[in-house]
Structure 1
């Protein structure tokens, strides 16, 4: 469990750092250009790590549903929307809003068992926690 929490914190920090860097790149060369550079450098990094680690089977791609293989395409939308939001409403409010959006979508994924996930019981305590987070972000923004 500790390892999962640690990786979540590292991932969250990297998302924030990437958003700020992308915003700066976007300011210099344009938002879609920033998305292109980010996606390309991410691909190169992932490819290099794969070449050294080789922890998977490339033949496994045939087993994955095409919808899931398109998941990387969300990255371009994420970068564009995050950069635009950072430039419009600032880093703190953007990341807060992103987290709330993630929680709302993951709440629905868990509750309804989308994407082959096992349904999780999502009740009043989870909903109250989500509403409290939204309230906290609104208070922080005021």
Structure 2
């Protein structure tokens, strides 16, 4: 239950972030808005880390170097969302974003990439994916 609540919270905030970033970018530009977003996100995370007094970040040396660049994907997410929202609106952008996430996670789960346990994909998962794609196609018209 707690995981689902965090997922819903993440969905709410990614939508709010996309709308806010689009508004910021209209005044200062896409990459400037991305910089502001990444900087304020970093500052909030740092503040929370300091308040929690959690020292486990010192174990960062144990993380595979490839995974340490994960934060750079955030800049691409922000720029992509800003640009998409400006061109196709919030609803279709977030819908397409969800489908892209689902398609990639579908592959990751079925292949067991990144050290995850392989998940067997069955007919209901394929039907659900098809229905979501059909829904986004309908939203675009």
- Pick the TM interval, shorter chain: over 0.9
Q: If the length of structure 1 is used for normalisation, what is the TM-score? A: 0.96
Question: How much is the aligned-residue C-alpha RMSD, in angstroms?
Answer: 0.9
Deviation at 1:91?
0.4
Structure 2 gap ranges (5+): none
Quote the offset at 1:115 in angstroms. 0.8
Find the residue that maps to 2:54 and give its secondary structure: coil
Runs of at least 4 residues off by over 4 Å: none
| 1:28 Cα deviation from its structure 2 partner | 0.5
> How far apart, CA to CA, are the structure 1 residues paired with 2:26 and 2:85?
11
Equivalences for 1:1-142 in 2 at 5 Å? 2-142=1-141
Unmatched runs of 5 consecutive residues or more in structure 1:
none
**How many pairs were matched up?**
141
CA separation in 2, counterparts of 1:140 and 1:44?
A: 36
CA distance in 2, matches of 1:54, 1:34: 30
Q: TM-score normalized by structure 2?
A: 0.97
TM-aligned CA deviation for residue 52 of structure 1:
0.6
